[in-house]
Amino acid sequence: MIDRDIFDLMDRFERSSLQAMKLSNDGFTIELTRAVAAPAAPVAVSVPAAPAAAPAPEQTTQGDVITAPLVGTYYATPAPDQAPFVSVGDRVSKGQTVCLIEAMKMMSEVPAPCDCVIEEVLKASGELVAFGEPLFRYRAV
């Protein structure tokens, strides 16, 4: 391999999601590994406080809910300085993005499963969510 090829390989590895890679060719071996970094601190986003009379989220997951399709960090907004994708009372269309979940530095959009009205937001932006954990309670329309 020539230096140009090695640097190209290193650049491609850096842009990929691979954690390790080993390449052997004609007695030459190169091994690339990615250091395991500490998770980044969640971005602070101001979210309006819920009314004092609202029950705890664990008690309100009855009925139809939109659940987390993967483990990651829940974000209610597309960027810290922007409005939430949806709020309580919003009418959303099937497939409309209701939030983002970040996993391994990749943002995944979570779509609405049907035309519905958001009745309750069960998570605060920046919280970690588990697979299948309820994010929103909704009423189909």
Domain ranges in the chain are 3-33, 60-140
Nearest to 137 by CA among 124, 125, 119: 119
Lowest mean pLDDT among 32-36, 63-67, 136-140: 32-36
In this predicted model, what pLDDT tens digit does every residue of 77-112 receive, in sequence order? Answer: 999 899 999 999 999 999 999 999 998 889 999 999
Whole-prediction pTM value? 0.56
| CATH for 60-140 (3.40.50.11900, 3.40.50.1580, 2.60.40.420, 2.40.50.100) | 2.40.50.100
3-27 b/e with 16+ CB inside 10 Å = b? Answer: eeeeeeeeeebeeeeeeeeeeeeee
Could you tell me the strand order of the sheet in which 128-129 lies?
A: 106-111, 97-103, 72-75, 128-129
In this predicted model, what pLDDT tens digit does every residue of 3-52 receive, in sequence order? Answer: 777 777 777 878 877 777 777 777 777 777 776 555 555 555 555 555 55
